[in-house]
Each structure stands twice: as structure tokens, then as C-alpha cells.
Amino acid sequence: MGSASPRDHLMKLLEPVVGAEGLDLEDITVTQAGRRRLLRVVVDRDGGVSLDEVADVSQAVSAALDDDDSMGQAAYTLEVSSPGVDRPLTEPRHWRRAAKRLVKAELKNGDVVEGRIVAADESGVDIDVAGATRRLGFEDLTRGRVQVEFRRIDDVDGDEG
């Protein structure tokens, strides 16, 4: 297998499989769980992922793993899911998918900006900070995190009356 790590090998193997299902492969982790290993595959796409799509991609991933024998002969459990709210926003697609959400953005200069994502494209993100839109280029960001809200802006819009 050369110098590639087992994770890198799995990413290369599964990226086209997940892509064929119309999803993005976000992450892969392999952890030991007693005698078994747990293989977590995190997938996402614009608009989110349905349970049916998770089931379909799970079958496709399982078949690819069986054909490749990447996980070896030892028993393992495959878990396919979408990312949780605590996933760091590190890629332009993560910021785009978090549109309208309240985020805390960490900048490379050490500053922290908190506000609501207005829009995101391939070069940066527009965040509403106290009523003013601020443009942050991805080259200035280290990462961001969605902040947990008990009432999202989408929930408030239709509740007047």
C-alpha cells in the first residue's frame, strides 16, 4: 500500500462510490470498539441527506469495501451518517450549507466573529454581524462552528400572528 495511510486509502476508494450516489464524502474514521472496529463514513450534500440516501450509500460503500478487502478479515461495523451540528466549517461547501445559521468564525489573526451567514461562495462568506454584512475571505478564516439555537430564524418568520 506504500506510504498512504489506511484512512487515505479508504478516502480514495470511497470518494467515487459516495459521489456516484450524488453525495460528498466528508470524513472517514476507524476506531476500535472492543474486539470490533467501527468504520464511520460521514456524507453530505446541499439540501441535506435523507435516510433513504444514507441507506443507499451504505449499501454501495459496503459492497465497495467487500470487493476491495480494505478492512481485512476482522469484524467491523459500518456506520454511515450525515455531519452533526458540531462539525467545523472548513470548506466553502460547509459554509454554503450553513446559510442562515448563526456561526462563530475564527480568523487567522486571532479575532472571532459571530453572526448569521448571509451567503457563501468559493472565495468567502458574508456574515451579518449586528445588522451589518461583513465579507470574510476563506484565506482569512481558520474555521467556523454553527452555534446551537433553540429558535432558528426560519422558525420565527412564520410565527407572527
> 135 has which bridge partners?
126
Residue 78 in contact with residue 58, Cβ under 8 Å? Answer: yes
pLDDT at 152: 58
- Interior/surface letters 32-43, b for 16+ CB within 10 angstroms, e for the rest: eeeeebebebbb
Q: How confident is the model at residue 161 (pLDDT cuts 50, 70, 90)?
A: very low
> What confidence tens digit (pLDDT) does each residue in 40-97 have?
999 999 888 899 999 999 999 999 999 987 888 888 899 999 887 778 898 999 999 9
- Give the count of beta carbons closer than 10 Å to the beta carbon of residue 61: 23
Residue type, 63: A
Cell 476508494 identifies what position?
13
Instruction: Note the pLDDT of residue 59.
Output: 96
pLDDT at position 74? 81
Average pLDDT for residues 88-110, to the nearest whole number? 92
Mean pLDDT score of the chain, rounded to an integer?
Answer: 88
pLDDT of 153 > 70? The answer is no
Alpha-carbon dihedral sign for residues 136, 22, 155, 157: positive
pLDDT at residue number 69 = 79
Q: What is the mean pLDDT of residues 118-141?
A: 95
Beta-sheet pairing, 102-107 with 141-146: antiparallel
End-to-end alpha-carbon separation of the chain, Å?
Answer: 63
Over pLDDT 70: what percentage of the chain? 91
- pTM here is 0.72
127 beta partners = 117, 134
With CA atoms as reference, report the closest residue to 93 among 61, 122, 52, 58: 122
The C-alpha cell at 22 is 450524488
